[in-house]
Structure 1
Amino acid sequence: MSDVILSIDYDDLPGQVIKKGKLCLLDMMGVMMAASTEESSQILSRIFCKDGLPESSVLVYGKKMPAFHAALVNGAMGHSLELEDHHNHKRSLNHPGVTSIPAALAVGEREHVSGKELLTAIILGYEIGSKISRAIKIGHLNLEKGFHETSVCGPFSAAAAAGKLLELSPLQLANSFGICGSLASGSME
């Protein structure tokens, strides 16, 4: 999986996928903007802007903070109104945009990537999270038991997007996925 992610470039993506990726990015940015007035968004932004290098922006506020803090705050804003997009499959309730896009924006800004590189990483994050979502098939079954599918699939989406932008080696990205699996499901990886 890591080799495939790292080998795909913008020019490999079909036009309709690029168009959809742009729409997903704009949609998530709109959701984050709308959520910027929420008290929870403002509290997180205040807490995380106090320490660290000013690497990446929190949307709307114009504050810069460490990339991982910016990804967390933007991701929280993306989810706080529960308006994020979802992977549409029979038994899937995954929201790949709320994890892929904040991670890609934060890492992309810090690494000074191009728009094409950013969009490619976001699309790959969607693809990986959606494929894992389809494979595990938990959807409604676990939502009813209080288990949110994005908590399993989302870290893989974020790792794929960030790993692509960071130009990780296949082994480094595979190790990132191992950490995601261990944290999401308690595997022994």
Structure 2
Amino acid sequence: MSDFSTSLAGFAAGPIETTLQTRIVTSLSVLDWLAVGRAGQDEPVSTVVRDLVLGEEGASQAHLFGGGAAPTRGAALVNGTVSHALDYDDTHFAHIGHPSVAVLPAALALSEWDDRILVDFLEAALVGMEVSIRVGLWLGRDHYQAGFHQTATAGAFGAAVAAGRLLEFDADQMHSVLGLTATRAAGLKAQFGTMGKPYNAGLAAAAGVEAALLISKGFEPNSGALEGPFGFGATHKGEANAEAALEGLGDEWLFESVSHKFHACCHGLHAALEAARDLDIAEPEVAEIKIKTHPRWMSVCNQMNPTTGLGSKFSYRTVIAMQALGYDTALPGSYSEKNCADSRLISLRDRISVEADETLTETQAHLTLLRRDGARREAKHDLLAPMSLSEREDRVRGKVAKLIGADEADAIWSMLRTGGRARDLAKRLEG
């Protein structure tokens, strides 16, 4: 075994210590994941993948977003895809990946099938999401820049570890499931902007379940396939820095710094939207707005004059104009062809400019507002800036209430905080 694989396997199979903050952030991510999955259950990609799985024969072991039940692997595929359909789920910027959509579908499917309590599900999910981040750090930015989708690749290892923990794997079995997942983890950035992007998340969740179930039945892979010659890292532009990726493992939960989305658009726009929120921009006051952002986002989410709802989710000028006009950027329905054609929005959008600033990080944005009365105001926001636990809870629960209703949001949150059985949470996927 290599040091990296040994450390990951030992951590994944061993006892863990968590803080109240870690547990609450994990529960908030589950709540957030379930809500965005419910909100996206009727998207075209959701319908296509769900119909595929429901059309196959097999035991009804786990519930699906949108209704029905399927074997665990199929349920993970559907629920991973559906929960990423709106691209409204959490992000971890350490490796630019979405931990929840890959790991939670695998963990919940197996927890429901094995009739586990919610505490077991939450613990397995936390360990799996932490491993996905650590693997993502180990793979490094070269892996992402080469065209691999970290949600799908690093996420598959997290899903496998979460599944293995629920199946009570020891360290050797955890090492084996990492090795087997190395031959199944896949996903390309070439799918961005198509149904293939959310499908990547479903593939990761399903691969993790499949690999864990095979190891539980005695399957013997090359356990060292994560690293070494012809291993996953070597063949996928990875293996950036094992020492940095393992730093604090078991003592520090990197997952705690996960970033939840509070606007239903590309995460690259969120720092600007938060800065605009700090400025409390309102359209009648605006003479001009200047946005500065990291150069990376200029080719990702800087559509100048989008005419479709999807296009508006990737447009600085449009979303800032929407916010100033009072459109609720937390609601997916706000991003529409009709709103793009709003003459007030078009007029305001033409007073907004965007420029690259290499002094800013990928999680920062700087806004300058020139008011009609000549006053000048500025605000800068960093998505990695510490957020108090109470503020995070308020904002996640507020978002969820908008997506699935306040009563349902409160009921699910109570379930997550007080305990119960995973199958009862899984039933909530149906809506």
Provide the rounded CA distance (Å) in 2 between the counterparts of 1:116 and 1:47.
32
Provide the rounded CA distance (Å) in 1 between the counterparts of 2:146 and 2:39.
30
Provide the rounded CA distance (Å) in 1 between the counterparts of 2:86 and 2:77.
15
Task: Please say if 1:58 is aligned against 2:64.
Answer: yes
Provide the rounded CA distance (Å) in 2 between the counterparts of 1:73 and 1:137.
28
Provide the rounded CA distance (Å) in 1 between the counterparts of 2:22 and 2:31.
14
Q: What residue number does 1:5 align with? A: 12
| Secondary structure of the corresponding residue to residue 18 of structure 1 | helix
Task: Please say if 1:158 is aligned against 2:177.
Answer: no
Task: Please say if 1:118 is aligned against 2:121.
Answer: yes
Moved more, 19-28 or 143-152: 143-152
Q: Of the candidates 8, 11, 20, which is equivalent to residue 25 of structure 2?
A: 20
Q: What residue number does 1:101 align with? A: 104
Cα displacement string for residues 41-76 of structure 1 (whole angstroms, at most 9, x for unaligned residues): 122212212310111110231x11100000000000
Deviation at 1:21? 0.1
- Name the amino acid aligned to 2:66: V
Q: What residue number does 2:46 align with? A: 41
- Name the amino acid aligned to 2:15: I
- Name the amino acid aligned to 1:71: A
Cα displacement string for residues 98-117 of structure 1 (whole angstroms, at most 9, x for unaligned residues): 11100011011001111100
Q: Of the candidates 63, 79, 85, which is equivalent to residue 74 of structure 1?
A: 79
Runs in 1 of length 4+ with deviation above 4 angstroms?
141-145
- Name the amino acid aligned to 1:173: M
Higher helix share: 1
Provide the rounded CA distance (Å) in 1 between the counterparts of 2:32 and 2:184.
28
Q: What residue number does 1:129 align with? A: 132
Deviation at 1:157? 0.8
Distance 1:144 1:88, change over 3 A: closer
Deviation at 1:176? 0.9
Deviation at 1:142? 5.1
Contact 2:76 2:106 in 1 (8 A): yes
Provide the rounded CA distance (Å) in 2 between the counterparts of 1:120 and 1:45.
27
| Secondary structure of the corresponding residue to residue 59 of structure 2 | coil
Deviation at 1:144? 5.1
Deviation at 1:188? 4.3
Cα displacement string for residues 107-156 of structure 1 (whole angstroms, at most 9, x for unaligned residues): 11001111100000110011100111122222xx5555532122220111
Provide the rounded CA distance (Å) in 2 between the counterparts of 1:105 and 1:133.
22
Q: What residue number does 1:84 align with? A: 89
| Secondary structure of the corresponding residue to residue 183 of structure 2 | helix
- Name the amino acid aligned to 2:12: I
Deviation at 1:169? 2.8
Provide the rounded CA distance (Å) in 2 between the counterparts of 1:95 and 1:109.
23
Q: What residue number does 2:168 align with? A: 167
Cα displacement string for residues 23-56 of structure 1 (whole angstroms, at most 9, x for unaligned residues): 0001111111111011221222122123101111
TM-score for the superposition, normalised by structure 2 = 0.40
Higher strand share: 2
Q: CA RMSD in A?
A: 1.9
Deviation at 1:161? 0.8
Alignment: residue pair count? 182
Provide the rounded CA distance (Å) in 2 between the counterparts of 1:77 and 1:8.
32
Distance 1:130 1:188, change over 3 A: closer
- Name the amino acid aligned to 1:165: L
Deviation at 1:174? 1.1
- Name the amino acid aligned to 2:45: S
Unaligned 5+ segments in structure 1 are: none
| Secondary structure of the corresponding residue to residue 182 of structure 2 | helix
- Name the amino acid aligned to 1:171: D
